[in-house]
Amino acid sequence: MKIEMEKLIAHLKAQGFIFQGSEIYGGLANSWDYGPLGAEIKAKLKKLWWGFFVKKNPHNLGLDSSIILNSKVWEASGHLRNFNDPLIDCKECKSRWRADKLIEEKFPELNVGGWTNQQLEEFITAKKILCPKCQKQSFTNIRQFALMFKTNQGVVEDEGSVVYLRPETAQGIFAQYKNCQRAMRKKLPFGIGQIGKSFRNEITPGNFIFRTREFEQMELEFFFAPSDNFDWFEYWLNQVQTFLKDVLKIHPNNFLVREHNKEELAHYAKRTVDIEFKYPFGTGELWGIAHRGDFDLSQHQKFSAQDLTYLDPNTNERYLPYVIEPSVGVERLMLAIFCQAYTEEAVENGERVVMKLPNNLVPYQVAVFPLQKQQNAAAEQLYEELLVDFDAVLDVTGNIGKRYRRQDAIGTPLCVTIDFDTETEKTVTVRDRDTMKQVKVALSELKNYLTTKL
């Protein structure tokens, strides 16, 4: 089903998933806050990633490094020199655009990642690409726009106090690679995973939470010996797809795997593959998997003058490990999950909106209702009992039909109703979100029943 972004955004706001940032002050462009239900899903998503890529993977460790690092890190990584986007201004209406994205929007089959500014400018002129705002073709030359947020640390604002908000979490991992390896006495191959905020002063943020200036990343840097014959790239590419399909239940028809061609590859990358999701506004990068060789560690070794080599206990050789990096944005992944889950269905008396979220991501696993006011106390007691083992919610307002709709709209898989039979028969009615079927379940069996269903 093709969904409309406007409808999805309105739904997520009304139900308490995502609000516009600073809304009472008229908002702050392209900033979004996660409401009670969105925050719950975000926390669950991060926990699932951490479980799969860090805790349950026999090779990997976790890390939580700082957002503000020594600026030398960004000098070494190349971000200070190269982390720019091609900015182009419309002379007529003064709007600003990313030149590469202007082209890719008109020619989605093209990938202009490796093009020079001159190539981009010539293409825009030759193909008569217009300003999306005023429909004129009157552009300035392209300039490089630095994407890192710059600020000062401490009381003196001079060149020496300049620091940056990290544009990726990866460099914090490289900077602590040696400490992690030594402290944990790790042998290659091993990986370090990290989840945290990143900041990019994007020229054209947009498409809701797809591209924002403040976002969270979940990144893994996997280190291995250059002589290792095992294909770690394929391994991580498969792991990412397994996580998407089996853990998050993303349907394989909803994403595609795109190999970067030679022109597009960053100069240090040996291979890059993007997993792209089919968002309602077009196909876009969800997860990048890159073979970074020993680029980052060798740069940090050079700039820090520290020995970052690994002494191989088997061969007694010293070398810098190679790195595979699977990197994903939390919000982009959430957007993919929301787009897949949002469903409008015709039902007997009208239409319902159902968030068909997987059970491991729902804000609430089970809702408890009293059928009528007389059953309020029993419902409250059952709710408190269920809270011990489940993410439960109690709803006592409105008629039962409305309560079902409310739970459908937020994705609650099961609703338990205390009804007339509960007192005499010791049973409750359990209703399934997707099939809308209802079954009677003995109170004594309820916890088991819910556990098998969830």
Q: Output 211 or 431, the one with its CB closest to ligand ATP.
A: 211
Question: ∠102-107-113 over CA atoms, to 5°?
Answer: 65
Known binding residue 215? Answer is yes
Residue 11 binds ligand ATP (CB under 6 A): no
Distance in Å, CB of 412 to ligand ATP, minimum: 28
Question: What is the x/- site pattern for ligand ATP, positions 322-341, by CB under 6 A?
Answer: -----xxx-xx---------
Known binding residue 52? Answer is no
- What whole-number distance in Å separates Cα of residue 119 and Cα of residue 136? 20
Nearest to 331 by CA among 212, 193, 173, 165: 212
Known binding residue 332? Answer is yes
Q: Output 221 or 331, the one with its CB closest to ligand ATP.
A: 331
Question: What is the x/- site pattern for ligand ATP, positions 210-229, by CB under 6 A?
Answer: -xx--x-x------------
Q: Output 32 or 369, the one with its CB closest to ligand ATP.
A: 32
Residue 287 binds ligand ATP (CB under 6 A): yes
Interface region with ligand ATP, contact rule CB under 6 A, candidates 153-161, 286-294, 383-391, 412-420 = 286-294
Q: Output 76 or 367, the one with its CB closest to ligand ATP.
A: 76
- Cα separations in angstroms, 234 against 254, 259, 280: 21, 12, 29
Residue 385 binds ligand ATP (CB under 6 A): no
371 HSE (CA, 13 A, CB side): 12
User: Is 218:46 a contact under the CB 8 Å cutoff?
Assistant: yes
Residue 450 binds ligand ATP (CB under 6 A): no
Known binding residue 329? Answer is yes
Distance in Å, CB of 55 to ligand ATP, minimum: 22
Write the burial class of residue 139 (CB in 10 Å: 0-12 exposed, 13-18 middle, 19+ buried).
buried
- What whole-number distance in Å separates Cα of residue 78 and Cα of residue 83? 7
Counting residues that bind ligand ATP (by CB under 6 A) gives 16
Selected from 191, 288, 321, 413, the binder of ligand ATP by CB under 6 A is 288
Question: What is the x/- site pattern for ligand ATP, positions 121-140, by CB under 6 A?
Answer: --------------------
Q: Output 105 or 285, the one with its CB closest to ligand ATP.
A: 285
Q: Output 73 or 392, the one with its CB closest to ligand ATP.
A: 73
- What whole-number distance in Å separates Cα of residue 449 and Cα of residue 443? 10
Interface region with ligand ATP, contact rule CB under 6 A, candidates 72-80, 252-260, 280-288, 361-369 = 280-288
- What whole-number distance in Å separates Cα of residue 165 and Cα of residue 199? 6
Task: Count the Cβ atoms, other than its own, within 10 Å of residue 370.
Answer: 23
The 8 Å CB, 24+ separation contacts for 52-55 are 52/239, 52/243, 52/247, 53/191, 53/193, 53/218, 53/220, 53/239, 53/243, 53/326, 54/193, 54/220
User: Is 49:144 a contact under the CB 8 Å cutoff?
Assistant: no
Residue 202 binds ligand ATP (CB under 6 A): yes
Interface region with ligand ATP, contact rule CB under 6 A, candidates 208-216, 379-387, 405-413, 415-423 = 208-216
- What whole-number distance in Å separates Cα of residue 80 and Cα of residue 69? 13
Rg (CA), the chain: 26
Residue 285 binds ligand ATP (CB under 6 A): yes
Nearest to 427 by CA among 437, 417, 436: 417
- What whole-number distance in Å separates Cα of residue 380 and Cα of residue 449? 19
User: Which residues make up each annotated binding site for substrate?
Assistant: 98, 168, 215-219, 325-329
The residues that touch ligand ATP, with contacts defined as CB under 6 A, are: 168, 200, 202, 211-212, 215, 217, 285-288, 327-329, 331-332
